[in-house]
């Protein structure tokens, strides 16, 4: 059962982790992903230009995770192909990654336009932005060397078949932040270089006479060792409006915390941390659960998870509910309470009255969680309400599933629930309730 839970957890973390570990990098896997017909044509064109000793390199975080990235980065109407690779004979020598731009000819074939050396051996992430520099779009590549903080971001312009670097800086984390009040993108990056010795987030903007300059910077929560998840979404603005925001989940020892950045009138604000303030909201986001800020309502208003012990448990090793908090007008408000099982990859939204009156226990041998009314003693599970079980498809025929019904499945993994029809009506759920409240993390 432990092996099964580990498999589910691995499947869940792969799209979230950015493949930061060597074992999770695509080029370090036993078999590389199979190329599409278009990618194969580009690969053959690349070989014709640079030779056959090619090892593809994959961005490790961010939106673009392929070694082949398609984007229109010039004034022509068609997309270019950007390919990241290394000479396979030098793959383990720390040699800088190569960046090759290919364009499609009138007959549909691909041809290499330029080939440049990057700033480090690995690609951390890439973003595309319109910063008002006069270019249709700028390519931003974050390079990763040895160590968590040894990273370089380089901004490129592509014109007349050449990729040229126009700015380069050290960074620890970077992201675009788009605001509805301007067609231009904001580039936010974190580093400990700049006007202060403390780690700060910096707003990088383009000015016609100066090029790319740091327009503003704000202090970041100093205990953070590394930012592991950055997402751009919304928070509620003043009145009924929405405001673009960057949610940054960072590691603090064995915990995670979240900082929220916004831009207003070319000024950068950290909503959850102010240097030298007596109380900072960031401390309310500290959690020992590997859950990132998430768009649980699918409206880009991201919520920050916070743990609350279930009734009857009095230490951090006990079972917890997850409270999903929204940032509104200088404070956090709880919008949803869920039971989140990261090992088995699901979230179950609980009714409001469960939080103070319903607890749970885990039946490890059944890979099951059981919810029951708490009467003051965790050993008293007689007032059972609901069970949720996770099974591999191959196990369903061997398990006793009498009274259970299937609520979801992903690949070979299935989720089953059992409702106690005799449960107190104040807590009892229908099948429709269970379907509506259940969601997977995969």
Q: What is the pLDDT of residues 359-407, one digit of tens each?
A: 999 998 889 999 999 999 999 999 999 999 999 988 877 678 999 999 9
Strands 405-410 and 80-87 turn out to be unpaired
If you average pLDDT over residues 4-14, what whole number do you get? 46
| pLDDT tens-place string over residues 276-293 | 887 899 999 999 878 999
**Which of 280, 309, 338 is where one domain is finished?**
338
Question: Is there a single domain that holds both residue 262 and residue 407?
Answer: no
| Res. 35 pLDDT band, cuts 50 70 90 | confident
Asked whether residue 373 falls in the same domain as residue 275, the answer is no
**Local structure of 213: helix, strand or coil:** strand
Q: How far apart are CA 321 and CA 309, in angstroms?
A: 6
pLDDT value at position 27?
Answer: 46
Helix, strand and coil in the chain, % to nearest 5: 15, 45, 40
pLDDT score at 25: 37
Determine the pLDDT at residue 16: 38
DSSP state of 35: P
State the pTM of this model: 0.86
The confidence score (pLDDT) of residue 198 equals 84
Are residue 280 and residue 187 in the same domain, yes or no? yes
The average pLDDT across 83-105 equals: 89
The confidence score (pLDDT) of residue 253 equals: 94
**How confident is the model over 410-434, as pLDDT tens digits?**
999 999 999 999 999 999 999 999 9
Structural domain harbouring 408: 358-440
**Shared domain check, 281 and 203:** yes
Query: With bands split at pLDDT 50, 70 and 90, how would you rate the model's confidence at 148?
Result: low
Domain assignment present for residue 127? The answer is no
Say yes or no: 374 and 422 in one domain.
yes
Q: Are residues 332 and 393 in the same domain?
A: no
User: What's the rounded mean pLDDT across residues 15-20?
Assistant: 36
State the residue for tokens 């007032």. Answer: 383
pLDDT confidence tier of residue 145, bands split at 50, 70 and 90: confident
Give residue 155's pLDDT band: very low, low, confident or very high (50, 70, 90). very high
3 state SS of 58: coil
My answer on whether 406 and 327 are in the same domain is no
My answer on whether 324 and 237 are in the same domain is yes
Mean pLDDT in the chain?
A: 88
In a domain, 106, yes or no: no
Domain shared by 364 and 255, yes or no: no
> Mind listing the pLDDT tens digit for each residue in 337-360?
999 999 999 999 999 999 999 999
Do residues 172 and 199 make contact, with C-beta atoms less than 8 angstroms apart?
Answer: yes
């Amino acid at each position: 059962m432990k092996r099964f839970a580990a498999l589910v957890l691995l499947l869940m973390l792969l799209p979230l982790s950015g493949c930061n570990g060597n074992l999770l990098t695509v080029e370090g896997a036993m078999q590389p992903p199979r190329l599409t017909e278009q990618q194969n044509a580009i690969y053959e064109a690349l070989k014709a230009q640079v030779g056959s000793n090619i090892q593809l390199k994959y961005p490790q975080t961010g939106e673009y995770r392929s070694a082949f990235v398609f984007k229109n980065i010039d004034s022509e109407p068609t997309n270019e192909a950007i390919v990241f690779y290394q000479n396979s004979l030098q793959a383990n020598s720390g040699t800088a990654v190569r960046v090759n731009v290919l364009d499609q000819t009138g007959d549909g074939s691909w041809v290499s336009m330029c080939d440049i050396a990057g700033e480090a051996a690995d690609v951390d992430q890439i973003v595309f932005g319109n910063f008002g520099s006069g270019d249709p779009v700028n390519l931003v590549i974050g390079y990763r060397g040895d160590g968590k903080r040894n990273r370089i971001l380089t901004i490129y312009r592509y014109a007349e078949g050449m990729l040229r670097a126009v700015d380069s800086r050290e960074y620890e984390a970077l992201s675009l932040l788009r605001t509805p009040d301007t067609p231009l993108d904001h580039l936010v990056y974190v580093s400990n270089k700049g006007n202060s010795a403390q780690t700060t987030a910096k707003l990088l903007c383009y000015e016609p006479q100066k090029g790319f300059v740091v327009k503003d910077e704000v202090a970041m929560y100093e205990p953070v060792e590394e930012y592991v998840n950055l997402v751009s979404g919304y928070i509620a603005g003043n009145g009924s409006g929405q405001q673009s925001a960057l949610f940054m989940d960072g590691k603090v020892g064995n915990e995670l915390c979240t900082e929220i950045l916004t831009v207003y009138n070319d000024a950068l604000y950290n909503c959850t941390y102010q240097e030298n303030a007596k109380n900072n909201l960031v401390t309310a986001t500290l959690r020992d659960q590997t859950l990132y800020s998430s768009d649980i309502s699918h409206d880009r208003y991201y919520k920050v998870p916070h743990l609350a012990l279930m009734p009857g448990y009095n230490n951090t090793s006990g079972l917890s509910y997850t409270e999903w908090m929204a940032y509104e007008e200088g404070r956090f408000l709880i919008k949803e309470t869920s039971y989140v099982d990261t090992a088995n990859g699901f979230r179950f939204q609980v009714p409001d009255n469960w939080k103070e009156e319903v607890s749970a226990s885990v039946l490890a041998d059944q890979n099951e969680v059981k919810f029951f009314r708490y009467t003051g003693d965790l050993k008293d599970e007689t007032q059972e309400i609901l069970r949720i079980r996770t099974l591999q498809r191959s196990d369903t025929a061997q398990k006793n599933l009498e009274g259970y019904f299937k609520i979801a499945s992903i690949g070979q993994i299935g989720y089953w629930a059992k409702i106690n029809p005799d449960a107190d009506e104040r807590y009892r759920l229908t099948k429709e309730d269970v379907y509506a409240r259940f969601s997977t993390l995969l």
